[in-house]
Amino acid sequence: MNLLSHVRSLFAPALEALVPDRAALPALLNAIKPAADAKNGDYQANCAMALAKQLGQKPPDVAKAIVAKLPPNDVIEEPTVAGPGFINIRLKTEFLARALRDIATDERLGVEPAAQPRTFVIDLSGPNVAKPLHVGHLRSTIIGDALARILRFLGHTVVTDNHLGDWGTQFGMLIYGYRNFLDKKKYAGSNSDKVRELARLYVLVRQLAGTIDILSRGYTHFRDEAAFAANPIAELTRVYVNGLKRAAEPDEGEDDVVASGPPAPNPIADSYRAETAKLHAGDADNVRLWKEFMPPCMEEIHKVYKKLEVIPFDHEYGESHYQPMLAGVVESLQAAGVCEAGDGGSVIIRFGPENVALVRKRDGAFTYTTTDLATIKFRIETFKPDAMLYVVDFRQSQHFANLFEASRRWGYTGVELEHVKFGSVLGKDGKPLKTRDGGTTELMVLLERAVELGGHLFEMTYWQRKANGHDVPDWKDYSEDEKRNIASAVGIGAVKYADLSQNRTTDYKFDFEKMLATDGNTATYMQYAYARCRSILRKGGVDEEAVRTNPPLNLGSAAERALVIQLLRFPEAIDAAVADYSPHALTGYLWDLAKSFSGFFEACPVLKAETPELRASRLLLVDLVGRTIKQALNLLGIRVVERM
């Protein structure tokens, strides 16, 4: 049961009787929210002020009228009106006790399945296969995984699809680099060595092409023939610097850019584009190399996903899967009047005077937009989804705005298309996270470091607690497997929770010290709170099933009551996370729950409670806190451990 929805349902008939415009009712109901200060009650209705403007009355009078029209119920006490028309709402203790008993034996902890289940396709991760996963893939992967877990928990059908970059220009770069710059000794090593050598070739070819492009543009626009004749090196340096103002390095999204004129001569770019064209045309040798590159690349990618502890994807349809469909997509777009002829025989979709997307280039090749439109068509026809979520960073906002508009013009109007955008991962200095040599941080390196630090943290806190006289197991009682399991749960959990606890639309700084803090809103703190619950139950020799069955409840103290309120708000947190596809609503809930549990733990003895009835009541609260933390963390893709 969602407490907030339940309270709003009580106010709905009262507001319906007063509101002159029924269309305004949802906004008025949404103004009923959890109270910011528990002294004012459990919930607060701030709708009287807005309604007073519509009625031409004073807000306090309208607030009193709303209260007077509330139906009889056994849920809330008589509300009070405060200040300029705030309505303070307090739940009845008897109602809280009943609600708590209802969830005591409920595996879902009060979270009801969706009344109208939907089918979702979630597009997540989406790396380029030709190089190792880097830190830039972290957010898409774990945000998408968390959303899939939450939606499935609610009873929705979820199809996860890792849309791999396995057919684009980067493979032309790899094939060209393989034939011209390969270090055969490194390539002959392990699959990890092969992938790193391919990544080196990719970067090298891209940099060489970029340098030539900048020099060419700079020489075309800024050269001084006399200066060049006098000192060629100095003049080339000068035109290179000026060329930087005109062009950047080739980008992986360059295919969608509509050029204003013929490109400057670039023999390396021309060569890797020719290799790409041969691959797409089915050239036997290039296809052979593509097939040779794919297995080691995919093996390394899957190692990272396993380390990150994400649920295996339902599908991994790469760009190569859609290649045979692209000509038909363009023909269909043309038949529907969605696209028009561009320069030199190209085909474009126009969204505005300066906003066009290329779907077929001058040379007949296709683009990322074409592939993404083919993907939409395939997913709709294959999975018949109600919604498709694209978990991709904010820099692709314009692309997805265009893509979704193009798909609507094409006739795909019956499906929700949502760009679940997110910000960047930054270093402590506020700049994009890089390695010491300036390269992009490999995700596996980062995760292995997290596990290492997780192990150090576990061992350090263990000996600190032992030195402080805490009742801890003998260090020898921990097997090596258990130590490794705890290190992995703590380290990987810290990385994932730190990311998911941020509003997904903002950037955040990657800081191991803060991630692994044992206090504050961190995974470590939540995992420790869970382990503390389990420890109390073990020490008490508790029969958990007995504790959950018809428990005698005592909610006499403020700390107990506050904890019960938080336990019953779990369904609210789930609904909030889904409403805006924002997992941080769930981490915010966990933080509130953990703080309430800490207050309860300090104020209310459990195993040494004054009476057996009070002990049983508090043991149930401990049990429910542990179960709720475990369930919430599981929905975020984070494991708990039974002891820490």
3-state DSSP of 395-413: HHHHHHHHHHHHHHHCCCC
| Two structure tokens written together for 484 | 């490794």
Q: Where are the domains of the chain?
A: 3-91, 166-294, 443-635
What local confidence, expressed as pLDDT, does residue 552 receive?
A: 86
- Which of 300, 209, 219, 199 shows the shortest CA–CA distance to 248? 209
Distances 464 to 41, 50, 455, 526 between C-alpha atoms, Å: 40, 55, 14, 19
d(CA 222, CA 210): 17
Q: Would you identify the CATH topology of the domain 443-635?
A: Isoleucyl-tRNA Synthetase; Domain 1 (1.10.730)
Mean pLDDT of the chain: 91
What local confidence, expressed as pLDDT, does residue 250 receive?
A: 40
Q: Do domains 3-91 and 443-635 have the same CATH topology?
A: no
Band the pLDDT of 192: cuts 50, 70, 90: confident
Band the pLDDT of 596: cuts 50, 70, 90: very high
d(CA 626, CA 531): 8
**Tens digit of pLDDT for each residue in 112-135?**
999 999 999 999 999 988 778 888
| Two structure tokens written together for 594 | 């953990």
Do the beta carbons of residue 5 and residue 34 sit within 8 Å? no
Average pLDDT over residues 43-48: 95
Band the pLDDT of 266: cuts 50, 70, 90: confident
What local confidence, expressed as pLDDT, does residue 253 receive?
A: 42
pLDDT at 239 > cutoff 70: no
DSSP code at position 88:
E
Which pTM value belongs to this model? 0.89
Do the beta carbons of residue 74 and residue 97 sit within 8 Å? no
What local confidence, expressed as pLDDT, does residue 80 receive?
A: 95
**Tens digit of pLDDT for each residue in 324-347?**
999 999 999 999 999 999 998 899
Computed over its alpha carbons, how large is the radius of gyration of the chain?
30
**Tens digit of pLDDT for each residue in 137-181?**
999 999 999 999 999 999 999 999 999 999 888 899 999 999 999
The residues with which 425 forms a beta bridge, in sequence order, are 508
d(CA 518, CA 461): 9
- Phi-psi group of 156: left, alpha or beta (phi > 0 → left; psi -120 to 50 → alpha; rest → beta): beta
73's CB contacts (< 8 A; 6+ apart) are 10
What local confidence, expressed as pLDDT, does residue 260 receive?
A: 44
pLDDT at 438 > cutoff 90: no
- Which of 340, 453, 338, 316 shows the shortest CA–CA distance to 406? 338
Q: Would you identify the CATH topology of the domain 3-91?
A: Gyrase A; domain 2 (3.30.1360)
Band the pLDDT of 136: cuts 50, 70, 90: confident
**Tens digit of pLDDT for each residue in 361-414?**
888 888 999 999 999 999 999 999 999 999 999 999 999 999 999 999 999 999
